[in-house]
Chains A and B, each alone.
Chain A
Amino acid sequence: MKLGLVFRIGTIMLLAVFLLQPDWFAFVFAPMTKNGQPAIYVQNSLLSLTISHLLIVFAATLAASAVAIGLAIAVTRPIGREFLPLSRTIANAGQTFPPVAVLALAVPVLGFGTEPTLLALFLYGLLPIFENALTGLTTVPPQVEEAARGMGMTDRERLWQVELPLALPLILAGVRISAVIAIATAAIGSTVAASTLGEAIIAGLINSNLAFVAQGALVISALAILIHDGIGALERRVGRHLIQG
């Protein structure tokens, strides 16, 4: 527990220092370069790439959460129940498209830039959140459901006061999975000119500069770990009373 906290704070500080003063770390990356190539990517600052990477991930995950949770609520209500299988199929189909294919298909319509990336991440993020929200909303213990109805809660009161709070840890787990996938996948967006950390990786690949590739990949990994860890902690917090004694 203590060790975990030290590790967390350590990772955040290291990442922050690296993004603010990348030059201090030139000695680490220099051995990966050849023929006097620059050791640190400077076309765009790593800090601004990280910020825009995170903004894209945040926007896409937020939109995916809203739509997926909304959809899961809709198909678990009496009126929407007949659409349950259909919605599952659609969400599954979204997941089988490789993100690159979504980008390729979206560019002609949306043009180069951030939009096709957002679309791909959004579609990609739907399924895990939808599946988890669905599981959470449909596995409320029957006695709890029965008590809520027996005490005179309306359908809406039951949703807000019982079903959603009980499903929250699972929903957060879905958001966590989606966000981590999005962090990794956003890098591909740089192939269609979205401003993400993928830019450093692509520049490194084109110029055979392993240092650039390593910088991009390391920052992306650190972000993924921190987000995974942060949302995971939140899940445990909201779920800590839910284990029935």
Chain B
Amino acid sequence: MIEIEHLSKTYDGRTVVDDVSMRIADGELVVVVGTSGSGKTTLLRMINRLVEPSAGKVSIDGVDCRAIAPHLLRRQIGYAIQGHGLFPHRTVSQNIATVPGLLGWDKAKISARVDELLSLFQLDPAEFRDRYPGQLSGGQQQRIGVARALAAAPKLLLMDEPFGALDPIIRARAQLDLRDIQRRLGTTIVLVTHDMNEAILLGDRIAVMDQARLLQYDTPRKIVVSPATAFVGELLGSGERPFRLLALQPVRDFVEPGMAEGQPIDANSSLRDALEEALWSGRKAVPVRDASGALLGRVTLETAIRQAAPQR
């Protein structure tokens, strides 16, 4: 559990993070979203003390972060940033081994861990271990950056716009992979972005910041259904709210018995996908199948439309 209490940062009399408090439960993925300059990065960097707070405190599992020397604190917390920051003079395996090396792990343990992480990120260890960052694609560099942040199996991972430099297709894949890996490892993640789609897609909870303040800290559904301020509504894009709401609801929960014509959709896709499919193919209902391909029933256009409005 991470507790952020009344955290503030002031530079030359200008407050860039203003009295922010939030609690993050273990295993949660919290996305901090907001416009440029709203203080997201500063907030994130106060958690691992790359920036020292002007007021307030951060504690992890009840331990005040100020009680631990900054470099020792940071070795316990994963950190991944936009543009990855890989060491160009070190191979992929040396990069990943950075924190384990600082922690003094033995060689065999480090190399086993490097291979394990490469496999986890779907990179063949034999092929990639000895490459240099300059010999990787942007998407591969980004994955190595995250693998490096996870190397010493931190309980907490901080990510500052980790997908910012990727093209949309690679980004979508990287987001899903992150979600998957996070579920599997149970890592608590705080991720900064200014992309609301990313926040809604990934976040168990979303923290919306504007002008140094935390405006709302809630589940994606709550944020979409009842934005705390006009600014939060604006950030969501008012015209898109019904679709964002649908995107949060998996088809699985709305399958009804019955038949439907045409191409089935996956039970794990969202009602938004179902709506798009139905509208595009001019169908009133779409068959639903599970991962193995077995038909489960159907989901109707009517259901999608009903679910697009906030429930009373």
Which A residues are closer than 8 A to B by beta carbons?
141, 143-154, 157, 161-162, 165-166, 241-245
Q: Are B102 and A144 in contact (CB under 8 A)?
A: no
Closest residue of chain B to A144, judged by CB? Answer: B85
Point out the residue from A147, A157, A162 that lies within 8 Å of B102, measured CB to CB: A157
Which B residues are closer than 8 A to A by beta carbons?
48, 50, 70-75, 79, 81-89, 98-99, 102, 132-136, 141, 145, 148-149, 158
Q: A157-B102, A166-B89 are in contact. List 10 more A-B contacts (CB 8 A).
A: A143-B84, A145-B85, A147-B87, A148-B87, A150-B74, A152-B70, A152-B74, A152-B75, A162-B87, A245-B136
Q: Are B71 and A154 in contact (CB under 8 A)?
A: yes
Could you say which residues of chain B place their CB within 8 Å of the CB of A152? 70-75, 99, 102
Could you say which residues of chain A place their CB within 8 Å of the CB of B99? 151-152
Could you say which residues of chain A place their CB within 8 Å of the CB of B98? 151, 153
Could you say which residues of chain B place their CB within 8 Å of the CB of A148? 85, 87
Instruction: Tell me the minimal C-beta distance from B95 to chain A in angstroms.
Output: 9
How many angstroms between the C-alpha atoms of A161 and B98 in the bound complex?
A: 10
Q: Are A149 and B87 in contact (CB under 8 A)?
A: no
Instruction: Tell me the minimal C-beta distance from A137 to chain B in angstroms.
Output: 14
In terms of DSSP, what is the predominant structure of the interface of chain A? helix
Could you say which residues of chain A place their CB within 8 Å of the CB of B72? 152
Could you say which residues of chain B place their CB within 8 Å of the CB of A153? 71, 98, 102
Q: Are B132 and A147 in contact (CB under 8 A)?
A: no
Q: Are A147 and B81 in contact (CB under 8 A)?
A: yes
Q: Pick 9 A–B contacts, CB within 8 A, sort by A.
A: A141-B85, A143-B85, A144-B85, A145-B85, A152-B71, A153-B71, A154-B71, A157-B102, A244-B134
Could you say which residues of chain A place their CB within 8 Å of the CB of B83? 143
Closest residue of chain A to B145, judged by CB? Answer: A147
Could you say which residues of chain A place their CB within 8 Å of the CB of B158? 150
Closest residue of chain B to A154, judged by CB? Answer: B71
Contact flag A151-B79 (CB < 8 Å), given A143-B84, A143-B85, A162-B87:
yes
Closest residue of chain A to B76, judged by CB? Answer: A152
